[in-house]
């Protein structure tokens, strides 16, 4: 085996990469650092890097600011809306890819629902959920103001068009002969969808799920307007540390660290499925 030669160019290149990496990672590093700082050291100048670490900020965030509820809410909302988006999005996207209903007009119409900013529709959403919450239907389904269900619906509505467009090309890439072949092998339409189409579309579904999760996890506006206490989400919760007495930097950093971790874990898990060319070798050419 040939031993790789280390050249000056290689060393310089790696040093440059290290430097850029440090620039990008520093804010996150600073956030983690701040979350462990005692309150009096947070804003000292020059900043301290060596101090007695404390968990006070985390204690404050979870006990005084009820952050565990916000995290639970956000996990439920992001998880449920992503599940709905993937289920309905893949079904819709598959039929668009295979049957092209509406000759592309319906596809385009779906896209147009994303052509206005969220702030333009947040008031209608507010009014709809306010009134829906007073009906037996809304109460039965847990829809209404300051209800987790409302945000699930809102995020699903927002993410579906994007998901349909994203998954469309993944479904289109799957050769139809594979489905015909599976039918002849003795499987029904639905079985073919579940056993052949979905596994081959897994990369598209993983990408869609990540985007959908990230959107729901990071969304602020709807979470702010549609909730008060019971259905608060983490982004709104973090903004709550901006108090009349000033910004509580320590607890804010602690809460932010806790917010980042689950998404990091999910992204790393789903990354395994984000491989291109799963259909490689299926057909000739």
Partner 1 sequence: MLELRSVTKRFGSKTAVHRLNLECKPGEFVVIFGPAGAGKSTTLNLIAGITDPTEGEIWLNGQPLNRVPPEHRNMTMVFENYALYSHLTVFDNLAFPLRAQRMPSAEIARRVDEMAAILQIGPFLKRRPGFLSGGQRQRVALGRALIRDADVYLLDEPISHLDAKLRHQMRGELKALCQRKQATVIHVTHDYREAMSLSHRMVVIDKGHLMQFDTPDAIYHTPANEFVASFVGEPPMSFIDVKLTTRDGAPCLLITGTEAQPAIVSLGDAATAALAENANALRIGVRASDISLSTTASASHGTRAEVYVVETLGHRDIVTTQIGTHLVKVIAPSGLGLQVRDTVWLNIEPHTYHLFRDEQSISHPTDEMRIAQGV
Residue with Cβ nearer partner 1 (68 or 176): 176
The yes or no reply on residue 181 touching partner 1 (CB under 8 A) is yes
Distance from C-alpha of 62 to C-alpha of 71, rounded to nearest angstrom:
10
Q: 243-282: which residues touch partner 1 (CB under 8 A)?
A: 277-282
Q: Which is nearer to partner 1, 38 or 175 (CB)?
A: 175
Mark residues 158-177: x for contact with partner 1 by CB under 8 A, - for none: -----------------x-x
Q: Where are any strands of DSSP class E within the chain?
A: 242-243, 246-247
In the bound state with partner 1, the residue whose beta carbon lies nearer, of 27 and 281, is 281
Structure tokens at 261: 């971790």
Structure tokens at 18: 């290290």
Residue 104 binding partner 1, by CB under 8 A: no
- Site residue total, partner 1 (CB under 8 A): 27
**Pairwise CA distance, residues 66 & 230, whole Å:** 10
Q: How many CB atoms lie within 10 A of CB 268?
A: 9
Minimum CB–partner distance for residue 162 and partner 1 (Å) = 25
SS3 assignment, position 99: helix
Contact pick of 152, 196, 216, 257 for partner 1 (by CB under 8 A): 196
Q: Which of 183, 220, 240, 262 binds partner 1 (CB under 8 A)?
A: 183
Q: How far is the CB of 184 from partner 1 (least distance, A)?
A: 5
Of the pair 126, 187, the CB lying nearest partner 1 is at: 187
Q: Can the peptide bond before residue 218 be classed as cis, meaning omega within 30 degrees of 0?
A: no
Closest to partner 1 by CB, 148 vs 209, is: 209
- Per-residue contact track with partner 1, 22 to 41, x per CB under 8 A? --------------------
210 near partner 1 (CB under 8 A):
no
Closer by beta carbon to partner 1, 44 or else 191: 191
Q: Enter the tokens of residue 80.
A: 């449920």
**Alpha-helical segments (H) within 187-275:** 189-192, 198-200, 202-218, 221-226, 234-239, 249-270
Tokens of 171: 């479904």
Which listed residue (59, 72, 180, 272) binds partner 1 by CB under 8 A? Answer: 180
**What count of other Cβ atoms lies within 10 Å of the Cβ of residue 113?**
13
Which CB atom, from 53 or from 199, has the smaller least distance to partner 1?
A: 199
Distance (Å, whole) CA 56 – CA 44:
18
Quote the CA–CA distance of 244 and 260 in Å, as a whole number. Answer: 26
CA atoms within 13 A of residue 70's CA, in its CB half-sphere: 28
Stretch that binds partner 1, among 71-79, 158-166, 187-195, 232-240 (CB under 8 A): 187-195
Chain contacts with partner 1 (rule: CB under 8 A): 175, 177-178, 180-189, 191, 196, 199-200, 202, 277-285
């Amino acid at each position: 085996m040939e031993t790789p030669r280390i050249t000056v160019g290689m060393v310089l290149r790696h040093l440059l990469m290290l430097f850029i990496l440090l620039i990008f990672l520093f804010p996150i590093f600073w956030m983690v650092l701040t979350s462990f700082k005692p309150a009096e050291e947070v804003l000292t100048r020059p900043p301290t890097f060596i101090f007695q670490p404390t968990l006070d900020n985390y204690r404050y965030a979870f006990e005084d600011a009820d952050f565990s509820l916000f995290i639970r809410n956000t996990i439920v909302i992001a998880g449920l809306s992503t599940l709905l988006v993937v289920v309905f999005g893949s079904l819709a996207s598959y039929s668009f890819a295979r049957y092209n209903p509406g000759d592309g007009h319906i596809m385009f119409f779906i896209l147009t629902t994303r052509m206005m900013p969220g702030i333009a529709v947040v008031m209608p959403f507010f009014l709809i959920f306010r009134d829906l919450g007073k009906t037996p239907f809304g109460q039965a389904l847990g829809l209404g103001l300051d209800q987790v269900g409302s945000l699930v619906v809102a995020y699903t509505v927002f993410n579906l068009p994007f998901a349909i467009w994203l998954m469309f090309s993944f479904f289109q890439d799957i050769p139809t002969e594979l489905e015909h072949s599976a039918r002849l092998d003795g499987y029904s339409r639905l079985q073919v969808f579940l056993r052949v189409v979905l596994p081959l579309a897994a990369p598209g579904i993983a990408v869609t799920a990540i985007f959908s999760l990230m959107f729901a996890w990071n969304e602020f506006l709807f979470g702010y307007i549609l909730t008060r206490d019971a259905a608060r989400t983490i982004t709104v919760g973090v903004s709550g540390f901006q108090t009349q007495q000033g910004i509580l930097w320590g607890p804010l950093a602690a809460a932010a660290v806790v917010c980042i971790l689950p998404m990091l874990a999910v992204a790393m898990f789903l990354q395994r499925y984000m491989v291109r060319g799963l259909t490689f070798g299926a057909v000739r050419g």
